[in-house]
Structure 1
Amino acid sequence: MTRPSGDPDHRPFDRRLLRLRRERWLAAADAPLFLHEEMAERLVERLGDIRRNFATVLELGCGRGALSRRLAARSDLRTLVRTDLARAAAPGPGHFVQADEEALPFGAETFDAVVSVGAFHWVCDLPGVLVQLRRILRPDGLLLVAFPGGDTLFELRRSLLLAELELCGGAVPRVAPFVQLADAAALLQRAGFALPVADIDRLTVRYRDPQELLGDLRRMGESGAPRLAGGAPLRRDVLARALAIYRRDFAARDGRVPATFEIIWMTGWSPHPDQPQPKPRGSGKVDLGDWLGRGSG
């Protein structure tokens, strides 16, 4: 999936509103952190599996510092630059720079690695952001990011859709469109990354009721941007019906309801001559007889 840029009225997300919501999330003492903490833990594990040193690292969307704290424990780290769309992030290691992921202020070949958790699903122009990141990475530099995508919140999306169709005779998107796994590696390749890989993790969180999930999404700053629905507010009766459908179709025997989060992982490398290169098409020289066992015995 590619997201349009250009005319602000046709951008899928209101970035100004997102900034305000992130600032409220950063200021809230009771903001849920479980999703960012889980993604941060898994990212650091993946980073640890790569036998490389990354002395200068850029973190995008640092937020409450779930990833920053873990990165600071790496012995090879010399410089950590943290950015966030919000004007001020939580205190943490390294240097903080307020910056929009879609307009980064860094020069070419500045960083050994760029990492992020929980930021890219609100980007309007993901292909453009990936091109920027390849430019600011040094040759053979690593991009490793994680964000909700795929079938994230499919239970909520389905319930809202059915309720609005039932009561209004039509429906508009109430949950952000997500990047699909099939598109992720292609976007990396299109942006010029070498060795692009995309994969997915699935997390299921169980809530007492759907209203508790909505509360978590609001307090995490993850509620939908108005442009998704053309500015039309969600009617109270539609919301009530959606919650009833959610409980009817997804509740377990104990009454709790699941909320699915699919985490898209995107990994790519800034090109370098020493990286493994794919062989040219048609360059294989294996005799078919060897495969068929001809002449053996």
Structure 2
Amino acid sequence: MSSPPPQLFDPALLARRRDRARSRFGQADFLHRAVAGEIEERLQEVNKTFTNAAIIGWQAPLWAEIIGLPAVALPDAETLALRPGAHDLVVHGLGLHWANDPVGQLVQCRHALRPDGVLVAALFGGQTLHELRAALAEAEVELTGGLSPRIAPMGELRDLGGLLQRAGFALPVADIRRFDVTYPSALHLMAELRAMGESNVMAARLRKPMPRALPGRVAEIYAQHFPSANGGVRATFEVAFLTGWAPAPDQPKPLRPGSAAARLADALGAEERPAGEKAGK
């Protein structure tokens, strides 16, 4: 029997933080709107008409409105309220980075898809908030002599693409879109993260309050190292887009090595030489 995945995050705290953020989310919804709009454009390029979509995420109704498809809106709980084989499209909207078992959630999405159905998931990638991570680390070491978990670890593109394969998706594709955002200060950035429902819910977080001097020192270090060209400070949000298809018998399959019907040299109109032999010899 396989052991359960490690509990990196506190789902109950995440739910409370999101509930607290709901009243302010409209002031900080630009990333959700931008990423949902990106997915809407990508779906227009798919040669397929979707009639039974499901959108997963704590802001799923907003995403459904932007994507413009009739869809079932579901929260991104550890166990998703999806029915097997009920959908031809599942969109997972900016929540998978908080999952204790992201592969498990992707497997649930695959089971909910009909053969040849499509999954598109968007989540924050490894370079997200790297500036804030660095400023927090420097300030905390300076003031307390140690470090504590304050920003969640986020996957790099190669690892995130591997999640699709582990979950059993066919034709997996992973790519990154970077959003560079300017804020008046690091304090404004941290306030906006709370309004987005993206504050610290790591299980290993410190349970005592942040040192009173820490936010101000973080803001000073941040402004020193990461100023924006037009005043204020810059922040990076890296969004990974994961796309996969539920397996179907008539999908294209990758060719076996050595099974090509024509040589690459012929296609390029080039002369083929043994390895190591230089041109002109």
Indicate whether the TM-score tops 0.5.
yes
Structure 1 residues 59-105: Cα deviation after superposition (integer angstroms, max 9, x where no partner):
0015173311123x34xx5xx210125xxxxxxxxxxxxxx1x2123
1:281 paired residue number:
257
1:136 is matched with 112
CA contact (8 A) 2:182 2:228 kept: no
Go from structure 1 to structure 2 and tell me whether the alpha carbon gap of 1:236 and 1:107 turns closer, same or farther (over 3 Å shift). Answer: same
Give, as a single letter, the amino acid of the residue that structure 1 aligns with 2:254: P
| Contact kept? 1:201, 1:264, Cα under 8 Å | yes
Where does the alignment leave 5 or more consecutive residues of structure 2 unmatched?
A: 273-281
Q: Which string of whole-angstrom CA distances, capped at 9 and with x for unpartnered residues, describes residues 233-252 of structure 1?
A: 42222332222110111113
CA–CA distance in 2 between the matches of 1:141 and 1:20?
Answer: 33
Aligned mate of 1:21, from 9, 13, 17:
17
Partner Cα distance (1:160, 1:288) in 2? 51
Counterpart of 1:180 in structure 2 is: 156
Alignment of 1:36 with 2:27, yes or no, is no
- How do 1:166-245 residues align onto structure 2 when only pairs under 5 Å count? 166-245=142-221
Whole-angstrom CA distance in 2 between matches of 1:104 and 1:289 = 50
- Please give the residue correspondences for 1:255-274 in structure 2 after superposition, counting only pairs within 5 Å: 255-274=231-250
CA-CA distance at 1:285 after TM superposition = 4.7
Aligned to 1:120: 96
Could you report, residue by residue, the CA deviation over 1:241-276 in whole angstroms, capped at 9, with x for unpaired residues? Answer: 222110111113553100110011000000011111
Report the Cα offset of residue 168 of structure 1.
Answer: 2.4
Structure 1 pair 58–293 and aligned structure 2 pair: CA distance change class (3 A): same
Q: Which runs of 5+ in 1 are unaligned?
A: 86-99
Inter-partner Cα distance in structure 1 for 2:14 and 2:60: 15
Evaluate the alpha carbon distance shift between residue 236 and residue 275 of structure 1 in structure 2; reply closer, same or farther with a 3 A threshold: same
CA distance in 1, matches of 2:265, 2:157: 39
- For 1:30 and 1:272, locate their aligned partners in 2 and report how far apart those are by CA, in whole Å: 40
Pick closer, same or farther for the CA change 1:280–1:182 going to 2, 3 Å: same
Decide whether the 8 Å contact of 1:5 with 1:11 is kept in 2. Answer: no
Letter in 1 for 2:63: L
Q: Deviations over 1:120-177 (max 9, x none)?
A: 1111111111111111111001000112212001110010111122222221221111
Instruction: Give the counterpart letter for 2:91 in structure 1.
Output: V
**Equivalent residue letter for 1:24:** R
Amino acid at match of 1:70: I
Contact 2:96 2:123 (8 Å CA) reproduced: yes
Aligned pair count reads 269
Contact 2:8 2:204 in 1 (8 A): yes
Contact 2:25 2:195 in 1 (8 A): no
The verdict on how the C-alpha distance between 1:195 and 1:287 changes in structure 2, with shifts beyond 3 A counting, is: closer
| Aligned twin of 1:6 | 4
Amino acid in structure 2 at the alignment position of 1:6 = P
Q: In the alignment, residue 21 of structure 1 is paired with which amino acid? A: R
Alignment of 1:144-183 (within 5 A): 144-183=120-159
For the structure 1 residues 289 and 193, does the alpha-carbon distance in structure 2 shift closer, same or farther, using more than 3 Å as the test?
closer
**Aligned pairs (5 A) from 1:96-111:** 100=77, 102-111=78-87
Residues in 2 aligned to 1:158 and 1:112: alpha-carbon distance in whole angstroms: 42
Alpha-carbon separation, structure 2, partners of 1:293 and 1:63:
56
What TM-score results when the alignment is normalised by the length of structure 2?
0.88
Q: What is the CA deviation profile of residues 9-64 of structure 1, one whole-angstrom value per residue up to 9, with x for unaligned ones? A: x5111101111122222233754111111111111001111110111001001517
Matched, 1:83 2:74: yes
- 1:5 to 1:159, Cα distance in 2 relative to 1, 3 A: farther
Counterpart for residue 68 of structure 1 = 64
TM-score norm. by structure 1 comes to 0.83
Partner of 1:51: 47
Please report the RMSD computed on the Cα atoms of aligned residues, expressed in angstroms. Answer: 2.3
| Whole-Å separation in 2 of the counterparts to 1:203 and 1:153 | 11
SS in 1 for 2:203: helix
The answer to whether the 8 A contact 1:194-1:268 is kept is yes
Secondary structure at 2:115 match in 1: strand
- 2:95 & 2:138 partners in 1: Cα distance? 29
